[in-house]
């Protein structure tokens, strides 16, 4: 029997609000699970609206009896997007108690400092130690490097009042109602990471396995695990299997986040991913960000009862 590394207290309700994603559609209908932002207020359509970008940011509220815990997973890319969308949605950054960074790529960390600037209290930032490694880059076929911007500076973050929690292993936060997986164990045969990602380590250019990739895990009472991933560079199936392993909870109720199945290299494993997801059998499936158009449509075809199309501003309520 596997040792339970992440003991999570079951919670009564989970709210997930999409602050940033690649897609927005102000005409999408709601359901009993998802509430869409209103097109008009007071009978008038406003002159500005929510914006989308190639990035991801998700506000998570966990209801534990009378206690409410508010966390932010990732912060999008541009310095304006998430802050703008929070303002449009009437959300107060000051409510955020913990920020989790799924990994260090710019489309998940870009608005971190502007968000911290709007929070007057100390904030925990949960991050894998490798997130601070630099330089990291794509190695192109012609030998040229495409360098990732270094958006994380520990001294700057600490100067903004952040308490940095570095951990390779699982971490529990919010009175043990929310878990962060830490470094995800990679066991599937088909999820092989980002093929041309490289980094400099000890003076050598080596492949970058993006070990800082991690996800958020919550145990929803009488339902099972709610898992929210960033980009799933470890593989979304590896992420789900690891969440089951470290929590000792086999039932996966809901899966949100980027599954990184976009582009020719990853499109070849869409069907393998679908087959494994069918075995895991989530009741709610919300692919986001880097999942890719082809994969999202296949998920809609194969998981018609569970699939929900995401859009910036969508609020999911799980009970």
Please identify every stretch of the chain with a pLDDT value under 50, giving residue numbers as ranges.
none
Using alpha carbons, select from 58, 52, 95, 86 the residue that is nearest to residue 73: 58
Instruction: Render pLDDT for 216-239 as a digit per residue (tens, 0 to 9).
Output: 999 999 999 999 999 999 999 999
Using alpha carbons, select from 157, 155, 147 the residue that is nearest to residue 111: 157
Pick the CATH number of 13-318 from 3.40.50.2300, 3.60.15.10, 2.40.50.100, 3.40.50.1860: 3.60.15.10
Task: Please tell me the distance from the alpha carbon of residue 115 to that of residue 58, in angstroms, as a whole number.
Answer: 13
Task: Please tell me the distance from the alpha carbon of residue 160 to that of residue 150, in angstroms, as a whole number.
Answer: 17
Two tokens at 14? 């989970």
Instruction: Render pLDDT for 100-113 as a digit per residue (tens, 0 to 9).
Output: 999 999 999 999 99
User: Would you state the pLDDT for residue 1?
Assistant: 53
Please answer whether residues 252 and 224 qualify as being in contact, where contact means their C-beta atoms are separated by less than 8 angstroms. Answer: yes
Q: Please state, as a whole number, how many other Cβ atoms lie within 10 Å of the Cβ of residue 28.
A: 17
- Give residues with Cβ within 8 angstroms of 249, minimum separation 6: 8, 219, 224, 225
Please answer whether residues 261 and 270 qualify as being in contact, where contact means their C-beta atoms are separated by less than 8 angstroms. Answer: yes
Instruction: Render pLDDT for 151-206 as a digit per residue (tens, 0 to 9).
Output: 999 999 999 999 999 999 999 999 999 999 999 999 999 999 999 999 998 889 99
What backbone torsions phi and psi does residue 223 show, to the nearest 5 degrees? -120, -50
pTM above 0.85, yes or no: yes
């Amino acid at each position: 029997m596997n040792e339970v590394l992440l003991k999570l207290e079951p919670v009564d309700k989970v709210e997930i609000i999409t602050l940033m994603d690649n897609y927005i559609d102000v005409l999408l209908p709601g359901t009993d699970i998802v509430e869409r932002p209103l097109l008009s207020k007071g009978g008038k359509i406003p002159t500005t609206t929510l914006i989308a970008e190639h990035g991801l940011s998700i506000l998570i509220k966990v209801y534990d009896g009378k206690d409410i815990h508010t966390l932010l997973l990732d912060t999008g890319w541009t310095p304006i997007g998430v802050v703008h969308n929070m303002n449009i949605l009437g959300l107060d950054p000051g409510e955020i108690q913990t920020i989790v960074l799924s990994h260090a790529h710019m489309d998940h960390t870009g608005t971190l400092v502007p968000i911290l600037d709007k929070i007057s209290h100390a904030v925990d930032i949960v991050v894998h130690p490798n997130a601070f490694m630099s330089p990291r880059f794509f190695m192109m076929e012609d030998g040229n490097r495409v360098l990732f911007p270094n958006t994380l500076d520990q001294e700057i973050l600490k100067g903004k009042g952040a308490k940095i929690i570095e951990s390779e292993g699982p971490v529990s936060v919010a009175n043990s109602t929310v878990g962060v997986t830490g470094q995800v164990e990679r066991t599937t045969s088909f999820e092989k990471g980002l093929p041309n990602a490289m980094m400099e380590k000890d003076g050598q250019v080596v492949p970058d396995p993006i070990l800082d990739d991690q996800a958020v895990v919550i145990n929803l009472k009488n339902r099972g695990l709610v898992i929210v991933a960033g980009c799933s560079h470890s593989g979304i199936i590896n992420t789900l299997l690891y969440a089951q392993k470290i929590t000792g909870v086999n039932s996966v109720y809901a899966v949100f986040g980027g599954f990184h199945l976009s582009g020719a290299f990853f499109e070849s494993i869409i069907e393998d991913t679908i087959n494994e997801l069918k075995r895991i059998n989530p009741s709610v499936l919300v692919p986001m960000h880097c999942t890719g158009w082809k994969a999202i449509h296949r998920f809609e075809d194969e998981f018609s009862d569970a699939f929900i199309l995401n859009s910036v501003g969508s609020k999911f309520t799980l009970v």
